[in-house]
Amino acid sequence: MNTFKGKIDRVLQSGSEYIVSFVTTDKYAAEALKTISPDVFQTVEVKKYFEKRSLNANAYFHVLCQKIAEHMGLGNEEVKKKLVLEYGAIAENEGGERVMICLPKGISPAQFYPYYKWIDENKTKTGDWYLLYKQTHTLNKKEMARLIDGAITVAEECGIQTKTPDEIARMKSLWAAEIAEN
């Protein structure tokens, strides 16, 4: 059984058991669920839904990174990192808390993870705290749109030709349609 998008309709208690019902518009998921025997226990996982970002959005972001890198005489990865730290999304745990790590002095987070900002020393001054940012392939549609808008701003400040506001709006609406199809 594949995953499907839905929402919890209600939770009822019947003696020592609970009845949980879901609502979905995914007819294939609903049909597949009908074929599962009610006498067999299943593993069920429920996670908050996030719209995925489009592969076309990711491609456009990388085109902008390349143009900015060429203009500034920097590497693509360096530009990408700068844009993610300026316009990307801070990594959060499931409770919505920002993800930070503390590493001993002399150890760089770059050995383990690409997107981070130094925040402070730990209390004993033997280590440093870093704030982590999401990797671009994990961004949802809204986060990716913010990152691309930031990249467009930087590109325009560099005098780099970008798509017109109408083209960008049309592209974003196509991303939404592409996401809805998947």
Q: For residue 103, what pLDDT is reported?
A: 94
Long-range contacts for 33-37 (Cβ within 8 Å, ≥24 apart)? 33/1, 36/1
Rounded CA-CA distance 174/153 in Å is 21
pTM: 0.65
Nearest to 149 by CA among 52, 53, 50: 53
Residues of the chain with pLDDT under 50: 179-180, 182
Where in the chain is CATH 1.10.3790? 55-181
CATH topology assigned to domain 55-181 = NinB fold (1.10.3790)
Q: For residue 182, what pLDDT is reported?
A: 47
For residue 153, give both structure tokens. Answer: 């701003």
Q: For residue 34, what pLDDT is reported?
A: 82
Give residue-wise pLDDT tens across range 13-54. Answer: 989 988 888 888 888 778 888 888 888 888 888 877 655 555
